[in-house]
Every structure is written in C-alpha cells, then in structure tokens.
Amino acid sequence: MIRTSHRSFSSNRTIFLSALVLVTLTASILSFIESGERFLHTTSWETKIRASAQIRRPNGISVLVTGAAGFIGTHVSIALKTRGDGVVGVDNFDNYYALSLKETRRALLDFHGVFIVDGDINDRRLLAILFDTVAFTHVMHLAAQVGVQYAVDNPYAYVHSNIASLVTLLERCKAADPQPAVVWASSGSVYGVNINNKVPFSESDRVDRPVSIYASTKRTGEEITLTYNRFYGLSITGLRFFTVYGPWGRPDMAYFSFIRNILEGKPITVYRAKNHTDMARDFIYIDDVVKGCVASLDTSGRSVGSGRSKNGSAPYRIFNLGNASPVTVPMLVSILEENLRMKATTNVVDMNGNGDDLFAQANISLAEKELGYKPTTDLETGLKEFVKWYLWYYGKPFDQNRNV
Ligand SMILES: O=C(O)[C@H]1O[C@H](OP(=O)(O)OP(=O)(O)OC[C@H]2O[C@@H](n3ccc(=O)[nH]c3=O)[C@H](O)[C@@H]2O)[C@H](O)[C@@H](O)[C@H]1O
C-alpha cells in the first residue's frame, strides 16, 4: 500500500516541501526586515498579528499559543485556526532538536494563516506588546523545555523554560483586563515513582515523588498555577500529557529515533527495568490529544480577576490526556518493524533509575466526563500514520519486498 502510493506521494512531497521552503524564505526575509523594527510597533508586525488573531466564527475565541512551532503547538494552532478561531503563535525556536523541522512547521502554520512571533515568553516587553495588540480570551501554553534524560545535564534550561517563563506568562495574564483563561501543558511524568501503588494513574493520586528534573518542574508548574488561580482568579487547566506521538513529532522521542536508526541500519537501545521487566508507555496519538486541548479551551470557564484582586472563584482543573492502554517498548519496536518491513538491531540496557518512569497508564475517566475526551487511535494505526509521514517528510525510499 505504501509502495503503490510512493511515487505520487514523493512528487506531492517535492511540490509541497518546495512551496513550504518558498514560504519559509519569504517569511525569513520579512522577519529579518521586521526584526529591527519589532519593538517600534511597525504596522506590518501589528497587522500580521491582528490578522492572525482575527476570529472568523460566531462565539469564536482568540488564543495565544506558546510553543506554536512545537509538535503539539503546531497541531493545536491549525485545529483552532481551521475552525475559525483567532490564533497567534509565539516560539523561541531553540535548537534542542532540528531547527529545520520547526521552520517547516512554521511555514505550514503560515500556510494556514497562523503568524508566529519569534521570541521568548520570558521577555516581559514582548508579552506586553502582544497583550496590548490582542485581547486574548485564552492562552494555550505549550512552550517548554522537554526531554527527560536531557535534564540530567541541563537542569537550568528547565528552570528557565518551565518555571521562570510560566511565572512571566501568568504575571501578564494576571495583569490583563479581562484576564484570559489559561490551558497549559503539564505532564504524565508527574506521577513518577508509583507511590500510590496502583494503576491506572488518576488526577487525585499523590504526585510528590518525581523521578526527573523535567517532571519536578512540571509538578512545580501545577502548584504555581494553583496559586495564580487561588489568589488572582485565573482560570487554569493543566493537561497531563502522556507519551504523545504522530506526524510532525519530536525527533528526540523514542519512536522517532527508533525509525531513523532502523532505516539507517543503526542499532537502537531499548531500556528495561532492573528486574528485567519491559518499560511501558500510554502512547497517545496527536489527533486525540488535540481534541483534548480544544475541548479544554472550550470548557475553561472565565478568569475572574484583575491585577491583584479577584471577584469570585475561577475553575482550576487538571486532566490526564493519555490513551488508557499502555504498550511496552519492545511492542512499539515490533510495530515499527512491521510497518517498515525491516528488522531492528536492538541493544537492551537496564535503566539506572535516573529519569525514566518504568510504567505509565492514564485513567482518563475525568477527561471523558468533563471534556468528552475519547481517544480513538490505537498504537498500530497511529504509528502507521507516523511512518507514512516520516517517509514522506524525509523522502526515504521504501522497499515493500524487504523481509522482516
Ligand atoms: O511529558 C512527558 O511525559 C514526557 O513524555 C516523553 O517521555 P517518555 O514517555 O519517556 O517518552 P520517550 O522519551 O519517547 O520514551 C518512551 C519509552 O522508550 C524508552 N526509551 C527511550 C529512548 C531510547 O533510546 N530507548 C528507550 O527504550 C523510554 O525509557 C520510555 O520507556 C517525552 O520524551 C518527554 O520529553 C516528555 O514530554
């Protein structure tokens, strides 16, 4: 099936990527011209932001999406824009992974009419200009330093992006009048060591034993947002994303690096627990997560504060967004092998206990009840889509007759 469609897939890909490169080049030239003028409030910069923020449906919302050039940010921005909401993106385009992928996502968003401001949300002046230009009804805060193992050597990056940035953004939201409702990316990793000694993980479980700096900063974010909710009246929804995967995904994640290595004939490392049990994750497909994000925005309720005062109480919610159906890492590898019709060379390594949770399974009944969240994509189906995208995006030839 993949082979039959490969030729047209390949020429479509060439046309599409060329168009995107053209759009990116134009965007880069424009952004170069604008960079010197940004803080001078040029009409061009403002005009783009206003156009991007324009609401085109009755009762639509106007959303600032942080981390818009990221994996989830790109998909959520497109979904909102497509249904007629106003969307303005902001992203610092860091080089944690291939910048080219982020630039292509930017071009894709541009194609959909979403403008991304190139900047850091730690920059208070930038945030002030954005909020002065658009009266955002919602903020979808997805910008973060991700990666569990990377935190071992780079802890300060997590403090900067997951804690300092969060406070800067919340301060800005607090000061806005009216205040926007905030939906933000927490993480399933907050469950850490399974101290509750039960699966699946529920939102009411204890979450005070993280196993990585990354998870600690996400848990800290939940407490910081709670403070802003209680004292300043911000409506807050924290989403505990489990292992999100799919087209336009993150190259640092296992499924992505596995396919790259398998295709290049390089070995992959599969971690397992010290007692030789397989690691497992509650892999969740991007389209399902996007539905959860959009439903969270739609049901957020209003913020009730203004500056340091508040009038009543605003919602504070936390939801697991997983698949409720964990799969082991060796099983993930065999699904990839089947799709690629190639065999992986696997090194099995025992975990040293620093960073990775051994097992994750989300209880999603709260999200089902409050958001109507109902994932419909199993790992086989989702990975098939991812593999198709990967081969298209990287222009990899595919030999259907290869033996597994
Ligand atoms: O918010 C979160 O909850 C995080 O989710 C994701 O973390 P994880 O669920 O751990 O996904 P991922 O790294 O793909 O590893 C998957 C499995 O493969 C195993 N794994 C990993 C790498 C490898 O080389 N070998 C291996 O066996 C590994 O031990 C694990 O069992 C994001 O990466 C993280 O940035 C953050 O967003």
Determine which residue's CA is closest to atom 8 belonging to ligand 1.
Answer: 243
pLDDT over 50 at 37, yes or no: no
pLDDT at 196: 81
pLDDT at 19: 67
pLDDT over 80 at 36, yes or no: no
Q: Tens digit of pLDDT for each residue in 235-270?
A: 999 999 999 999 999 999 999 999 999 999 999 999
pLDDT at 3: 38
Q: Tens digit of pLDDT for each residue in 158-174?
A: 999 999 999 999 999 99
pTM (2 d.p.): 0.91
In the chain, the percentage of residues whose pLDDT exceeds 70 is 87
Architecture label for domain 6-243+285-324+359-377: 3-Layer(aba) Sandwich (3.40)
Rg (CA), the chain: 21
Task: Tell me phi and psi for residue 7, to 5 degrees.
Answer: -65, -50
pLDDT over 90 at 228, yes or no: yes
Q: Tens digit of pLDDT for each residue in 3-27?
A: 334 444 456 666 666 666 566 556 5
pLDDT at 29: 53
pLDDT at 190: 96
Determine which residue's CA is closest to atom 15 belonging to ligand 1.
Answer: 254
pLDDT at 14: 65
Q: How far is the CA of 93 from the centre of ligand 1 (A)?
A: 22
pLDDT at 30: 54
Determine which residue's CA is closest to atom 6 belonging to ligand 1.
Answer: 243
301-310 mean pLDDT? 94
Which residues line the pocket of ligand 1, CB cutoff 6 A? 146-148, 187-189, 241, 243, 253-254, 269-271, 279, 281, 329, 356
Q: Is the ipTM above a cut-off of 0.90? A: yes
Q: Tens digit of pLDDT for each residue in 107-127?
A: 999 999 999 999 999 999 999
